[in-house]
Amino acid sequence: MADVRVAVLVSGTGSILDAMLGEDVPVALVLADRRCRALEIATDAGIATELVDRQDFGGFGGGFDRWGFTRRVKDVLVAHDIDLIAMAGFGTVFARPLFDAFPSRILNTHPAILPAFPGWHAVEEALAAGVETTGCTVHLATVETDAGPVLAQEEVPVLADDTVETLHERIKRCERQLYPRVIKDYIESLMGTAPTPGS
């Protein structure tokens, strides 16, 4: 498993990254699109870090150069000899060049049972819809956001007094358990010891 080099893409607190490290996922690089706590976690663990700052590509407004940003991230990942990418709360949507460079090698976790509630506001939308259960999905990332093949899902009940914050925290606890396990299984499949997930 150590022969597969995993890059974890982060934007926030690093709680999912922390869970991956606790489960011995072979993380070779942590890449962020903004300065965040996750980079500190990686540094403390002795893992290489890269910051490809969105602000250098137009920031968060309508002038954002998505293709330029994507090409820069792709070049960094290639330079680090990355085999598998795991997005962990990463806040930027990529353009096609990254998916062309890493076909079926980009994993993501999403706080809903896809195909329900794709997009950035999945927890809010689940609460607004009044569903009794939601959960998390680990899937292959594709150019179309949250539409790639599902690798694993786990349900989380919606409680009567839930807020966006309380529900999201329970979903995150689920993600922190499910995602590292799925990544390790996917690594085994890449090494030829198991069928490729989603095939």
C-alpha 18/C-alpha 24 separation (Å) is: 10
Closest by CA to 44, choosing from 68, 14, 64, is 14
Note if 110 is an active site residue.
Answer: yes
Instruction: Enter the tokens of residue 6.
Output: 């995993």
User: Cis link prior to 115 (omega < 30° from 0)?
Assistant: yes
Of the residues 80, 110, 121, 168, only one is catalytic, namely 110
d(C-alpha 136, C-alpha 142), whole Å? 17
First to last CA, the chain: 20
Burial class (CB within 10 angstroms; exposed 0-12, middle 13-18, buried 19+) of 189: middle
CA geometry: angle 118, 133, 152, nearest 5 deg: 60
Token pair recorded at residue 53: 């700052």
Q: Other C-beta atoms within 10 Å of 120: how many?
A: 13
> What stretches of the chain show up as alpha helix (H) in DSSP?
15-22, 37-44, 66-79, 96-101, 122-129, 164-190
Q: Active-site residue numbers?
A: 110
